[in-house]
Amino acid sequence: MADPPTGGPEPPPTNTQESIASVTEGNLEARATIDSRKRTRTTQNKLLEIKHNHNVIQEQNKKLYNELHQNWLYHLIQKYRVNQDSPQQHLVATSVGLNTKLVKPQFGVISH
């Protein structure tokens, strides 16, 4: 068996000095700024989406509340068998804050 060559193995040729020199403090700061802006934009977009969804839910809540209120009022009038065209119907409707003529509630799917 032959003896190994004397001395340590030669390191593979690299451009380490060049790549280390190319990464400067300014480059790191610029990269950090770009990453920070991307995170900020992403967060802002998510916040806008959340606000939009919140507004949609609020509108659906208003519609549902109005439907339930109409249904409750309709059944209240039916319970006391008040004629819808009578003055009593108007009194019941105005006492609960409703100034429109009462119609039988229509149940449907709330659109998203």
Q: Which amino acid is at 72?
A: W
Query: Model-level pTM?
Result: 0.44
- Tell me the pLDDT tens digit for each residue of 56-99: 999 999 999 999 999 998 888 777 765 555 656 556 556 655 54
The radius of gyration of the chain from alpha carbons, rounded to an integer in Å, stands at: 37
pLDDT > 50? residue 102: yes
Q: Is 76 exposed, middle or buried (0-12, 13-18, 19+ CB in 10 A)?
A: middle
